[in-house]
């Protein structure tokens, strides 16, 4: 069996026990890092940083961990991230309103050396299916007959995740819209029928 490879690792840093200038040390490795300060008052612990590292390409877990300079990670513990977007969202508790919330949002996360921060939500397969059904209904409700009108409409209605899904499923939605437009041209239904469907 092949050795599993990953790109992301995470660890915690407690300022009072970390080496002086630890963030500068990480920056100077030229590795891609991000960090977020969590205040201890919320979970009865001490103030600490959650730090993520992104390797340029998938590598073995041992090599990934070896890229973190010794003495920085609390207790030397470096964890492999198998759900990097979920962890990035955790950095500011986007999916956990009962935990500390950060007024500055995404700006609370400090990134260096080109860290690819992605706070978009990872949807389950069932959630994606439901969103597709909602997009099909949107097309029917608003009688969308051009793909660009679909994307523009979703964006104008602040349905950004739906717009992302639609833009990543171009063949499906463009095909459906084209078919509706062709059906219209053939006289199979008129504009009023779209609202009644």
Q: Does one domain contain both 81 and 139? A: no
Structural domain includes residue 194: no
Angle of CA points 158, 140, 175, to nearest 5°: 95
143-194: pLDDT as tens digits? 999 999 999 999 998 888 899 899 989 999 999 999 999 998 888 765 554 4
Indicate if 65 and 147 belong to the same structural domain: no
Residue 62 sits in the same domain as residue 159? no
- Identify whether residues 134 and 96 lie together within a single domain: no
- What tokens were used for 78? 């470096």
Q: Which structural domain, as residue segments, surrounds residue 129?
A: 125-188
pLDDT digits (tens, 9 = 90+) for 13-35: 998 889 999 999 999 999 999 99
């Amino acid at each position: 069996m092949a050795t599993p490879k990953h790109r992301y690792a995470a660890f915690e840093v407690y300022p009072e026990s970390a080496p002086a200038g630890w963030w500068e040390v990480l920056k100077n490795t030229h590795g891609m890092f991000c960090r977020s300060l969590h205040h201890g008052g919320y979970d009865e612990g001490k103030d600490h940083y959650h730090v993520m590292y992104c390797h340029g390409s998938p590598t073995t877990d041992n090599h990934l961990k070896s890229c973190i300079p010794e003495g920085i990670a609390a207790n030397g513990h470096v964890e492999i991230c198998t759900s990097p977007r979920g962890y990035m969202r955790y950095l500011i508790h986007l999916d956990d309103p009962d935990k500390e919330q950060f007024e500055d949002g995404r700006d609370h996360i400090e990134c260096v050396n080109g860290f690819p921060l992605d706070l978009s939500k990872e949807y389950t397969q069932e959630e994606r299916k439901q969103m597709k059904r909602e997009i099909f209904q949107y097309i029917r409700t608003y009688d969308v007959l051009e793909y660009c009108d679909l994307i523009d409409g979703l964006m104008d209605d602040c349905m950004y995740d739906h717009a992302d899904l639609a833009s990543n499923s171009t063949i499906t939605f463009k095909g459906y819209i084209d078919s509706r437009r062709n059906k219209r041209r053939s006289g199979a239904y008129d504009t009023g029928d779209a609202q009644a469907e």
